[in-house]
Structure formats: C-alpha cells, structure tokens
Homo-oligomer: A and B are copies of this chain.
Amino acid sequence: MSDAGTDAAPRGRPRSAAADSAITETVLRLLEEGVTIGELSIEGIARDAGVGKATVYRRWAGKNALLMDVLNSIDEPTPELAGASVRDDLVTMIDAIRRRGLAKRSSAVMRNILLQFQQVPELWKQYHDTVIVTRRDAMLEVLERGVRTGEIRAGLDLELLGDIFAGPMLSRAMMRPGASLEDGLSEQIVDTVLEGARPR
C-alpha cells in the first residue's frame, strides 16, 4: 500500500511533475472515453501519455496504485474541523459527503471510476482501507469527544452512530441519482439525529 498515496517515495531518478500529470490526465481521459479499468494497461497509458513504460513504473508500483492516485486527485478534499462544537463538526463532515455527491453527479468520470472500483475487489479494498477508513476514524474521534463533553449520551455504539449520521447523506449522494442534496440538508440530518424522532 505504500505506493498508493501521492506522497510515495520516487523510485530511481527524480520524477518529472510534467510527466506525472500527463500520465494521470491520460488515465482520466481514457476513463472518460469509456475505457474500462480492465482494458487499461500501463503500456497503453504510457503510449497515450507520450512517455516510456519505465517512467510510469518509476512513479507507481502498478495500475492499481496509479488508479488510486487518479481517484484521489478528483476526490473532494477532507474538510478541516473547527474542533469546538461537536454538532458543528458533524455538520462539516456530513456536508463533505454532500459535496462529494454533487461533484460525482457533475462528473461522469468520477461516477464511472467509483462504479468500476467497486467491481475490482482489490482496488475497492485499497480505497476502503485508506480513504474510507480515514474518514470513519475522524467521525469516531468527534463522537468520542461528544461523549466526553456530554453532547452525545453515553452507552451508544459509536461506530453505528457514525453510520446513523453519515448513512442518510451517503444513500442520497451515492445511491440515488435524483435525490435532493440541497443546502442545509447536513444541518437537518445532524440536528434530527441528535434530537431524536420521538417527542422529548
């Protein structure tokens, strides 16, 4: 997994940023044109990017590592948390899912890549073990802080509670092409889950 991130150590002689971006742009363009992940080859990518195969392998261990970088490059960045109100940090995190959903809708490439990732188990596992796990850990930290500050009641399964906060937005943003993702939705979800559905 050490070669999957954008900060992987370069192999051999110093890498060229121009070659790197020519390579990732080529992968994006090919995916945009409808080439499947299965059809992509390092050889074809190198040829289309106008570089040698060795240039690709100097930077990436293989096709999966390259694809992970391409996906990360078009993903919405993880938001900074203010770290004061747990409610506000939850809104920030849920709103990042909403913005990723909007970006995915506006980007055929991203939709196509995500769908294809899900069909290549080792790629999905890698995306899950890096990107998704990092996001869930950040959620858990905020919820644990909430229990300490008294904003979240004690005794709840916090991993499940994280899914209860994130799941509604995930299902709208990622599973239902036509669902509403309007401004203010994240606040509404967080406040409803905090308050509860039955009368107080």
Using a CB–CB cutoff of 8 Å, the interface residues on chain A facing chain B are 115, 118-119, 121, 124, 128, 132, 146, 150-153, 156-157, 160-161, 163-172, 174-178, 185, 188-189, 192-200
- Given A167-B170, A171-B171, A198 contacting B194 (CB threshold 8 A): yes
Task: Indicate if the CB atoms of B164 and A128 lie closer than 8 Å.
Answer: no
Oligomer: number of copies: 2
Rounded to whole angstroms, the CA-CA distance of A164 and B189 in the bound complex is 7
Decide: B189 and A196 in contact? CB cutoff 8 A.
no
CA distance A163 to B128 in the complex (A): 23
CB distance from A141 to the nearest CB of B (A): 16
Which partner residue on chain B sits nearest A152 by CB separation?
Answer: B197
Q: Which of B146, B174, B175, B200 is the one whose CB lies under 8 Å from A200? A: B200
Contact of A153 among B150, B156, B177, B200 (CB under 8 A): B200
B115 and A160 contact, CB distance less than 8 A: no
User: B161, B163, B171: which contacts A163 (Cβ < 8 A)?
Assistant: B171
CB distance from A100 to the nearest CB of B (A): 13
CA distance A165 to B185 in the complex (A): 15
Q: State the 5 A-B residue pairs at the shortest beta-carbon distance, nearest first.
A: A196-B196, A167-B168, A167-B167, A167-B171, A163-B168
Write the nearest CB–CB distance from A148 to chain B, whole angstroms.
13
User: With A115-B115, A176-B128, A197-B194 known to touch, is A166 a contact of B156 (CB < 8 Å)?
Assistant: no
By a CB distance below 8 angstroms, the chain B residues around A160 are 168, 185, 188-189, 192
Known A-B contacts A166-B171, A167-B169, A167-B170; the reply to A192 vs B161 at CB < 8 A is yes
